[in-house]
């Protein structure tokens, strides 16, 4: 996979990596390949944490981390690369600190930015392997397409509640992400970890599998990786299953006659953005509080799941989960304004768009920043999650 001469190892490095070097399938040459390699981790959170730590321990010479978020206390349940002392710090810097604390011999590059169609090719081009540790579909399709265009292997991982998946997508060797998932799910029905929850140890398992695949790719054991295989793990029932994958001869990005030859608008492709944008009007937490205090007639519809609603909710609100909003729209009085809310304002905006597409006639308002804003600005005793 790598071209050119390999770097020498210092005596300190030989001692550090000795348990690798004495392995017949790694050896001194394999360890030198690790030192020469450059791996980009897109997403410095749950999946990126074990990958960063294990690649650093293994002696990967250059590790890139791309993330635009900051460390939050709710991250610490699963994002083991970050520490309590780093709450509020940029994730890229927090991760870099942890990686260099494990191994000061390596180089860490940080990209404190969102990977977009405008910058993806430039950011990815100088790395040998890309690890997809993102939590949304526009990012996954974007990273896949960029890797196909740049002819780079993509080590994929995803997590949802108790289930995780991992594979290696490399178009010149087999299937890419689009071959397996040609169309994204409907908007709002594949929530992120922040919205759906995730079993804390799950990303540690899936991220470690990704790190395992990356190391094997680097040392030249491509035929032992998850190329053309999708590994699915059920943490609750402690079961693994494997699905065989096949390259799609009609894939729009990696076939011999691709229709996609450059990066596209991935939010539009995934339905996050409408062709004709449906306008969603916001209402602030303060404005909603004033309406309640003035005894104005208003519907307050909470589109989160029941477990979330039970943790914290606004008094007088009614639970109609997002998945049921179309079927139960007749329960909402169209004669008075309706405020729709969720945790952060994302699912509620989807719900409003769906209701408008379903020709709901009443006035719809989205609670800006959701129940998090209510807890931050109105009811500071409310439990945050």
Give the DSSP letter string of 351-379. HHHHHHHTT--S-EEEETTHHHHHHHHT-
Instruction: Single out the catalytic residue among 133, 147, 251, 342.
Output: 342
In the set 133, 193, 254, 270, the catalytic residue is 193
- Backbone φ and ψ for 188, nearest 5 degrees, come out as 90, -10
* Token pair in block for residue 176: 């890419």
Two tokens at 319? 């639970």
In the annotation, is 193 catalytic? yes
Distance CA(60)–CA(79), nearest Å, equals 21
**On the CB side of 80, how many CA atoms lie within 13 Å of its CA?**
14
Q: How many CB atoms lie within 10 A of CB 331?
A: 12
Q: What is the largest CA-CA distance in the chain?
A: 78
- Annotation marks residue 254 as catalytic: no
Residue-wise burial string across 216-225, b where 16 or more C-beta atoms lie within 10 A, e elsewhere = bbbbeebeeb
Euclidean distance between CA atoms 281 and 239, whole angstroms: 45
Catalytic residues: 193, 342
């Amino acid at each position: 996979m790598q071209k050119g001469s390999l770097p020498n190892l210092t005596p300190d490095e030989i001692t550090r990596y000795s348990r690798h070097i004495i392995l017949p399938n790694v050896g001194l040459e394999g360890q030198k390949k690790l030192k020469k390699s450059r791996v980009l981790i897109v997403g410095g959170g749950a999946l990126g944490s074990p990958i960063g730590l294990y690649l650093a321990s293994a002696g990967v010479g250059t590790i890139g981390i791309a993330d635009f978020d900051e460390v939050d206390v709710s991250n610490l349940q699963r994002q083991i690369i970050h520490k309590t002392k780093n709450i509020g710090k940029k994730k890229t810097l927090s991760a870099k600190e942890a990686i260099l604390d494990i191994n000061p011999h390596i180089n860490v590059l940080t990209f404190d930015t969102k990977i977009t169609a405008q910058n993806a090719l430039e950011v990815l081009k100088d790395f040998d392997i890309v690890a997809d540790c993102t939590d949304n579909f526009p990012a996954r399709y974007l990273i896949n397409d960029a890797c196909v265009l740049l002819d780079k292997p993509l080590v994929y991982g995803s997590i949802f509640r108790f289930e995780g998946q991992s594979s290696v997508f490399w178009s010149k060797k087999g299937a890419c992400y689009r071959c397996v998932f040609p169309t994204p799910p409907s908007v709002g029905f594949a929530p992120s970890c922040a919205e759906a929850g995730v079993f804390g140890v799950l990303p540690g398992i899936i991220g470690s599998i990704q790190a395992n695949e990356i190391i094997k790719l680097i040392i030249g054991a491509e035929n032992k990786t998850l190329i053309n295989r999708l590994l699915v793990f059920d943490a609750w029932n402690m079961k693994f299953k494997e699905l065989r994958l096949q390259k799609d001869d009609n894939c729009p990005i990696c076939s011999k006659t691709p229709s996609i030859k450059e990066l596209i608008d991935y939010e539009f492709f995934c339905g996050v953005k409408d062709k004709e944008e449906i306008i969603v009007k916001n209402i602030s937490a303060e404005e909603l509080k004033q309406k309640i205090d003035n005894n104005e007639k208003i519907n307050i519809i909470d589109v989160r799941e029941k477990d979330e609603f039970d943790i914290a909710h606004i008094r007088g609100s009614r639970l109609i989960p997002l998945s049921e909003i179309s079927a139960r729209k007749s329960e909402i009085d169209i004669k008075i304004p309706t405020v729709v809310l969720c945790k952060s304002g994302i699912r509620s905006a989807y719900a409003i768009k769906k209701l408008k597409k379903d020709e709901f006639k009443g006035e719809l308002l989205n609670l800006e920043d959701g129940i998090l804003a209510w807890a931050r600005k109105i009811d500071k005793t409310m439990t945050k999650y």
